[in-house]
Amino acid sequence: MDTRPIGMFDSGIGGLTVLKEVKKVLPNEEIMYLGDTKRFPYGSKSKEAIVEASRNCIKYLMKKNVKLIVIACGTATSQSLDILQKEFDIPIIGIIEPTVRYLQEHVKSEETIGIIATQGTIRSMAWEKNIQEKLPNIEIKSEETPLLATMAEQGWTNNKVAKYTIKEYMKCFKKIDRLILGCTHYPLFEILIKKELSKKVDIINTGEKVADYLKKYLEDKKIQNSNKIKQFTIYLTDKETNFAKLAKQLLEQEIEIKEAKF
Amino acid sequence: MDTRPIGMFDSGIGGLTVLKEVKKVLPNEEIMYLGDTKRFPYGSKSKEAIVEASRNCIKYLMKKNVKLIVIACGTATSQSLDILQKEFDIPIIGIIEPTVRYLQEHVKSEETIGIIATQGTIRSMAWEKNIQEKLPNIEIKSEETPLLATMAEQGWTNNKVAKYTIKEYMKCFKKIDRLILGCTHYPLFEILIKKELSKKVDIINTGEKVADYLKKYLEDKKIQNSNKIKQFTIYLTDKETNFAKLAKQLLEQEIEIKEAKF
């Protein structure tokens, strides 16, 4: 048993979709969540800028004495995970490996898998590389959807702008078997995405896959927390945003936000 | 007389709205246009990243033997102009000073002026500082509109997404006298913006103000070009974008695009 908290970070509110799923599956785990809102959005920044920002997030969380770190951000996972796993001694889990693990268990051959993500993620080819290494026979169709994360941070997830944006972005996914939401902000648009796709399409919320992976990981390593803890703490590098309002809606509870200075 | 070209840069297609206005007023001037599409968007990047990108754009254009440089980008003007004017010997003109000059000539006291721009521009307070220095009695109402530049680069300037986005962003500008389009991408939404505002509102396309300012500047310094030149050249740091298609629509002519490597 290890009662220390789990550290988790994203550029903004996106990672809360991961936090939400982790809380469902691991209700006893304490989570320290860091939203690097000062540097939002990660999706259009250079690889160097994302590695630097992620490195600083990890350092901040390590000072809080966390037992492992979840990169609850698609862009940071695709651009910085490999590099930072080598730099730090702490276990670091991104959103790609847990999702690929799920695909290995469920995908039949000859499937077509769609991926939507930020510019940085799509151009890194990280999803393609990781999926094709394990599942060489499936077809992958990826699309940059650069407006969605910013729209989510504005709280525009169910207005007309969001509706028509999703309609436009989904046009090229008419013949797919699964769609990976390759940015943790995107589950906020899940209702709209569902409406545009065939009912048979498996829409993959990476947060769910991270939660399942994490549960197994903690059990295997025997570092789960068996004490009853209800608390999670949210730190933001810039508090002057819509975060508090949106987080309250998403997590359906009152939240307290602390400032992280770096 | 100086027959050397004018250098102009932006992160993407936005600056072409400036190029278009300059071509109208100064048909004999040759223009070298650099679109730093590899680093688009500037609007959400750090000040350091924008200064660095702008510095490299200026160096690239100086090697092309230009006689002066126009920063045809709101974010680069607001974040880097002051710094780079001190670093380089060549005259550098941004979009703020020409617009403030126009305001000085036309604004009556007690006006309210709206400004829409990227996150970087709004947070820099550059418009407020420059306007209030010359016109201390007017009221300024500024709003971040972070989706618009990306939308313009996607070519979404007249679809339903653009329409409802503009409707949403214009809600807070019901009682203004003028609206400054503080990012050079925004004139691409001018028709939609006009529909949302009272007919009396002066919608300020900064490209027009830059063109007028530049004409006077070249005449004063006696460095205008009196030869008949039709040509402008476009260089992009990343050619894999919608740029060519959008530029053709905007400039209403066939264009050739060259690659700029840096």
What mean pLDDT value characterizes chain A? 96
Chain B residues within 8 Å of chain A (Cβ atoms): 39-41, 44-46, 49, 146-147, 150-151, 154, 156, 159-161, 164-165, 168
Distance between CA atoms of residues A237 and B177, nearest Å: 36
Is A73 a catalytic site residue?
Answer: yes
The C-alpha angle with vertex A34 and arms to A30 and A40, in degrees rounded to 5, equals: 155
List, for residues A166-177, the tens digit of each pLDDT value.
999 999 999 999
Neighboring chain B residues of A44 at a CB cutoff of 8 Å: 40-41, 44-45, 150
E runs forming strands in chain A: 6-10, 31-35, 68-71, 92-93, 112-117, 139-144, 178-181, 202-205, 232-236, 257-259
The tokens for A226 are 């068996």
Q: Judge whether residue A183 has pLDDT over 70.
A: yes
For residue range B183-219, what is the model confidence (pLDDT) as tens digits?
Answer: 999 999 999 999 999 999 999 999 999 999 999 999 9
User: Is residue A20 within 8 Å of A252, Cβ to Cβ?
Assistant: no
Chain A residues inside the 8 Å CB shell of B151: 147
Contacts of B113 (CB under 8 A, 6+ apart): B103, B107, B131, B138, B139, B140, B141, B176, B177, B178, B179, B180
- Structure tokens belonging to residue A232: 């999670």
Instruction: Verify whether residue A183 is a known catalytic residue.
Output: yes
Q: How far is CA A142 from CA A107, A108, A174, B192, in A?
A: 17, 19, 13, 31
Q: What is the pLDDT of residues A139-152, one digit of tens each?
A: 999 999 999 999 99
Q: What would the two tokens of residue A44 be?
A: 């259009």
Model confidence at A231, in pLDDT bands (50, 70, 90)? confident
Q: What torsion do the CA atoms of A152, A57, B38, B166 make, to the nearest 10 degrees?
A: 20
Which pLDDT belongs to residue B239?
Answer: 87
pLDDT value for A186: 98
Return the ∠ at Cα A248 (arms to A214 and A154), rounded to 5°: 100
Contact state of A46 with B46 under an 8 Å Cβ cutoff: no
Average pLDDT over residues B5-10: 98
Predicted confidence (pLDDT) at residue B230 exceeds the cutoff of 70: no
The CA-to-CA distance between both ends of chain A, in Å, stands at: 32
- Exposure on the CB side of residue B126, measured as CA atoms within 13 A: 27
Does the structure show a pLDDT above 80 at B143?
A: yes
Class of the B6-94+208-259 domain?
alpha beta
Q: What is the average per-residue pLDDT within A202-214? A: 98
Q: Is the pLDDT of residue B179 over 80?
A: yes
CB A178 within 8 A of CB A202: yes
With a cut of 90, say whether residue B242 has pLDDT above it.
no
Name the strand (E) or helix (H) holding B161.
Answer: helix B160-170
**Coil, helix or strand for A177?**
coil
Whether the pLDDT of residue A230 is over 70: the answer is no
Give buried/exposed letters for A114-139 (b at 16+ CB in 10 A, else e).
bbbbbbbbbbbebbeebbeeebeebe
The predicted-structure confidence for A26-70, as pLDDT tens digits, reads as follows: 999 999 999 999 999 999 999 999 999 999 999 999 999 999 999
According to the model, what pLDDT value does residue A239 have? 87
Q: How far is CA A155 from CA A239, B82, B147, B149, in A?
A: 15, 35, 13, 19
Per CB-CB distance under 8 Å, the chain A contacts of B159 are 164, 168
Contact across the interface for A164 and B168, Cβ inside 8 Å: no
- Percentage of the residues of chain A whose pLDDT score is greater than 90: 94
Per-residue pLDDT at B229 exceeds 80: no
Cα distance between residue A32 and residue A65, in whole Å: 10
- Name the active-site residue from A19, A73, A138, A204: A73
A34 token code pair: 């860091």
Cite the active site residues of B: 73, 183
Based on the number of CB atoms within 10 Å of its own CB, is A48 exposed (0-12), middle (13-18) or buried (19 or more)?
A: exposed
Closest chain A residue to B49, measured at CA:
A49
Non-local CB neighbours of B135 within 8 Å, separated by 6+ positions: B100, B103, B104, B107
User: So where are chain B's domains?
Assistant: 6-94+208-259, 96-206
Q: Considering the domain B96-206 in this protein, what is its CATH number?
A: 3.40.50.1860
Per-residue confidence (pLDDT) for residue A228, from 0 to 100: 76
Its ipTM equals: 0.92
Q: What is the pLDDT of residues A86-114, one digit of tens each?
A: 999 999 999 999 999 999 999 988 899 99
Judged by CB atoms closer than 8 Å, whether chains meet at B150 and A154 is answered as: no
Angle between helices B16-25 and B206-220 (to 10 degrees): 50
State mean pLDDT over A183-207. 97
pLDDT at residue B241 greater than cutoff 70: yes
Closest B-chain CA to A167: B161
B110 Rama sector, left if φ>0, alpha if ψ -120 to 50, beta otherwise = left
pLDDT of residue A234: 97
Q: Which of A45, A118, A123, A147 is most worth mutating to test chain B (most B CB atoms within 10 A of its CB)?
A: A147
Q: What is the pLDDT of residue B228?
A: 77
Nearest to A232 by CA among A54, A39, A6: A6
DSSP-assigned letter for residue B37: G
Q: A-chain residues within 8 Å CB-CB of B46?
A: 39, 49
Backbone phi, then psi, for A139, in 5-degree steps? -95, 140
Catalytic residue selected from A22, A151, A176, A183 = A183
Q: Does A6-94+208-259 match A96-206 in CATH topology?
A: yes
- Mean pLDDT, range A240-244, rounded to an integer: 85
φ, ψ at B56 (rounded to 5°): -70, -35
Nearest to B95 by CA among B174, B169, B205: B205
Whether a cis peptide bond, with omega within 30° of 0, leads into A41 is yes
Which residues in chain A have Cβ-Cβ distances shorter than 8 Å to B45?
A: 44-45, 49
- pLDDT at site B240: 77
CA–CA separation, B117 vs A164, rounded Å? 23
